[in-house]
Amino acid sequence: MLDSKENMELKEGKMDKEKIKRAVRDILEAIGEDPDREGLKETPNRVARMYEEIFCGIFQDPREHLKVTFPEESHEEMVIVKDIPFYSCCEHHLVPFFGKAHVVYIPKGGRLTGLSKLARVVETIAKRPQLQERIAKETADIIMEELRPYGVMVVIEAEHMCMTMRGVKKPGSKTVTSAVRGVFAKDIATRTEAMNLILMK
């Protein structure tokens, strides 16, 4: 995972933190709180700094992580990076959802990328106001476009706080989404093999 310092160095100053602070203060007043009481005095500043970190993906291009490849013509077998932890914010309620992403691709012509780069693509896409379905779709599309593999499959499982702390209030419920491209969309046997490997402990 990118640490906070690295995130700040990437796109420091892009967000209007002063506007965020004013908005947070307005929200505190709107819900009936006193933004000047001891426990809340620094809350607008803390929220502004947090937003700069958790939404830094807005100003980053996930494709950049895949610009470096390691040609190895002999390898055209399945590559899987699974259990990639991620944190994001639902764009409907601005509350967190979090879970794991599993990324599978089959290199074509030996166009391999570093394993950590796949995790960074997921992380960059997740660090925006998001939908779980969009994270899977964008990750799959970007890998297909940048690496031009035989196929890509992205599976995401996550818990949404908008379902556990509000609304239906069902803690522990998981949402699973997937995006399949290329051979994974066309060949059920290949897709099944990938799913079995993802589920294997």
Q: Is there a contact between 142 and 121 (Cβ–Cβ < 8 Å)?
A: yes
Q: Of 56, 60, 65, 90, which is the active-site residue? A: 90
- List the catalytic residue out of 33, 53, 93, 193: 93
- C-alpha to C-alpha distances, 30 to 43, 114, 154, 164, nearest whole angstrom: 15, 48, 41, 24
DSSP-derived 3-state class of residue 52:
helix
Q: Is 132 a catalytic residue?
A: yes
75 assigned to active site: no
Active-site residue (options: 60, 65, 132, 146):
132
52, 102, 130, 160: the catalytic one is 160
The catalytic residue among 6, 73, 91, 145 is 91
Phi–psi pair at 102, nearest 5 degrees:
-125, 125
Does 93 participate in catalysis according to the annotation? yes
Is 102 annotated in the active site? no
* Annotated catalytic residue, options 72, 92, 133, 145: 92
Selecting among 53, 76, 157, 162, the annotated active-site residue is 162
The stretches of the chain forming alpha helices (DSSP H) are 4-11, 17-30, 43-54, 115-126, 132-147, 161-164, 183-186, 188-199
Catalytic sites, residue numbers: 90-93, 132, 160, 162
